[in-house]
């Protein structure tokens, strides 16, 4: 059985090093997905779950820490474009949450997500990362804030959600996988 990058591994260093490590992790997950045959549904589903969780966490951290640090260092239009790309990624993640690996549009949705993520990563690494470095931001301090916030989010996700009206929430964080959402919205 193939091993996939762990979402909880924290690269040391500044914010840019950590965001690059996230980008590498996502690329590795897309590659792992591409290596499975269509018949290997359970493995494909697991990789997509990890991928969606990693993308969701990464986008949240960038929205909270990286993009605000860029205010004033880049044109606001670039940050708006980046936010729109994150919104598009979130929509694709939600679509994947409603699909099964044997659904007709599952592979198409993953392929579109891969294209959008690769384009977004290039945008960040070629335009936004150098802008943050030129702005003289304290990358180490931002990196510490990112690590702290990621740990907080992961801790929150690992905690059992509270029961509502005496009924246990279903489907959240099954098996300690730290899923950020219920994977499937319809029964098989």
pTM higher than 0.85, yes or no? no
Structural domain of 117: 15-157
Task: Name the stretches of the chain with pLDDT < 70.
Answer: 1-12, 160-188
pLDDT in tens, 153-170: 998 888 766 666 655 554
153-160 own/partner pairs: CB under 8 Å, 24+ apart: 153/57, 153/60, 153/61, 154/7, 154/8, 154/57, 154/178
In a domain, 106, yes or no: yes
Q: What is the CATH number of the domain that holds 24?
A: 1.20.120.520
In a domain, 70, yes or no: yes
Question: Could you give the number of structural domains in the chain?
Answer: 1
Q: Distance (Å, rounded) from C-alpha 152 to C-alpha 58?
A: 14
- Sign of the CA dihedral 159, 163, 168, 172? negative
In a domain, 172, yes or no: no
Give me the pLDDT at residue 159, please: 78
Give me the pLDDT at residue 100, please: 92
pLDDT in tens, 7-44: 434 456 899 999 999 999 999 999 999 999 999 999 99
In a domain, 170, yes or no: no
In a domain, 5, yes or no: no
In a domain, 127, yes or no: yes
In a domain, 124, yes or no: yes
């Amino acid at each position: 059985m193939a091993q996939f990058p762990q979402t909880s591994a924290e690269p040391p260093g500044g914010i840019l090093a950590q965001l690059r490590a996230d980008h590498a992790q996502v690329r590795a997950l897309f590659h792992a997905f591409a290596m499975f045959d269509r018949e290997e549904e359970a493995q494909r589903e697991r990789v997509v779950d990890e991928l969606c969780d990693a993308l969701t966490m990464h986008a949240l951290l960038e929205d909270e820490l990286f993009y605000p640090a860029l205010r004033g260092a880049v044109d606001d239009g670039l940050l708006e474009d980046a936010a729109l790309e994150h919104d598009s990624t979130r929509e694709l993640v939600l679509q994947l949450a409603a699909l099964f690996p044997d659904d007709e549009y599952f592979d198409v949705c993953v392929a579109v997500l891969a294209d959008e993520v690769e384009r977004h990563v290039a945008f960040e690494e070629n335009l936004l990362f150098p802008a943050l470095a030129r702005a003289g931001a304290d990358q180490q301090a931002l990196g510490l804030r990112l690590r702290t916030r990621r740990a907080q989010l992961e801790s929150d996700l690992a905690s059992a959600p509270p029961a509502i009206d005496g009924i246990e929430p279903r489907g959240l964080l099954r098996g300690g996988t730290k899923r950020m959402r219920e994977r499937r919205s319809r029964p098989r």
